[in-house]
Amino acid sequence: MPDNINIPPFAANSCPALVVAAPSSGSGKTTVVAALARYFRNQGKKVRVFKTGPDFIDPCFLEFASGAPVYQLDLWMAGDQSEIALAHCRQLLAQAAVESDLILIEGVMGMFDGPCSSADIAAIFNIPVLAVIDAKAMAQTFGAIAHGLASYRDDIKMFGVVANRVGSANHAQMLEEALPKHLAFCGWLAKDQKIELPERHLGLVQAQELTDLNDRLNHAAELISQSFTEQGQQIPLPAAVDFTFPQALPAPELVTNVQSTPALTGKVIAIARDKSFSFIYQANLDFLRQQGAELVFFAPIDGDALPECNALYLPGGYPELNIEPLAANQALIQQIKQHIDAEKPALAECGGMIYLMQSLTTLATDNIAARTENLCGILDGKVAMQPKLAALGMVSLPALMSDDGQIPRGHTFHYSKTETDLPVWQQPVSLRGRKTDPVWKQKKLVASYVHWYFPSCPEFFVGLFGGMLVADSE
């Protein structure tokens, strides 16, 4: 928890809210949050969901379940629990509270893990916690774990506990009886393949790839409500939480002149968005629009051309799973080359960076041999997929601190390695100060494995997309 933070005056909105946490990753937080969101949505409630941490894939499921955009709520990415970061996150919550009957915040990793833990979010914003515990192969120990989560910090309020992967109704009753009297049993989910969300490297299979996702979510919502409806009850809403935000926030856009014109006014930014390029923070899109930019989207794997634009954004995703249609869209590759050669701004993140390299080598599977496909060839490097995680963690660029002390922040998470002799432009560092995969710059293209969070440093990202970064010489 940060100390001695100067909080500005606030105006308040209120809405029932829960932070959904767990003892560890893999406990089923996403499934439970999605089930609750869909349950209350089916009851006619307006539900807003947030995700703590840098995840892209879980929010897609939560957006599908709730019917509303999902934003990250991460104080470190927004500015390391500074006043600016707190104001940013408070504003997101306050805006959601105005339009919602319930706010659900899916936590990250274990409840107390990370630079912005689920417990930190709960304590800072005074939101009660709903703990999800994987109860498979467990009986009375369920109560001990719940007690530990509830009592480890005295600034946390526990709303209740949900049991996941329960064997039977009798097993659920045993778990409920094991809970301390002051902790509410808030339902359970059975181990059921109909609600299990399939996984691959980087996490869950993407929501848009599951044709039966709607049925899965409705089934999960029905299951989690059964322990209440059997007793003639409905799943209760938690008590309302006051969400406060500064009455006079700093202007959300940078300006280019005394008339306060947003800095990217008149700029058209083309953004790749399909199953290959889908790792996009909603807050990044909002940020670009707040700066005055017009956003146009295109789908490289569908054969789309590059729209007329002033700047290009190639986010991360799964290019390795769609390598053939990407390589086949030669017209787009030539258009991107022309864009870069014309010294127009471009940002390529992880999968977007891979797409710009000379080639990508896939992994061999039981049925398919490894293969190498030539890609854009704009960056002089070769990429090969790896069987194990190659890098994971939050990163920042302290060397590019803005005048107001903000630093570009983001995270890396990839199963590939890149061989290149490209000169390093900037060197990101991890939370522990360790050097991570570099950032490369070619003309006005900035490329790296980092998935950036644009609100972390508006000055830098406006400069990047506005073409104000100095172009490198040939």
Alpha-carbon separation of residue 473 from 62, 90, 267, 439, 444 (angstroms): 45, 43, 24, 17, 10
Question: Per this entry, what is the length of the chain?
Answer: 474
User: For 25, which DSSP code?
Assistant: T
- The alpha helices in 204-314, defined as continuous H runs, are 213-229, 282-290
- CB distance 374 to 358 below 8 Å: yes
- CB distance 195 to 35 below 8 Å: yes
Strands (DSSP E) found in 259-350? 268-272, 294-298, 311-314, 346-349
Alpha-carbon separation of residue 162 from 29, 36, 152, 189 (angstroms): 10, 11, 18, 8
With residue 327 as reference, give the H or E element that holds it. Answer: helix 323-328
With residue 392 as reference, give the H or E element that holds it. Answer: strand 391-396
* Residues with a known catalytic role: 350
Complete edge-to-edge strand list for the sheet that includes strand 409-414: 429-430, 391-396, 409-414, 451-453
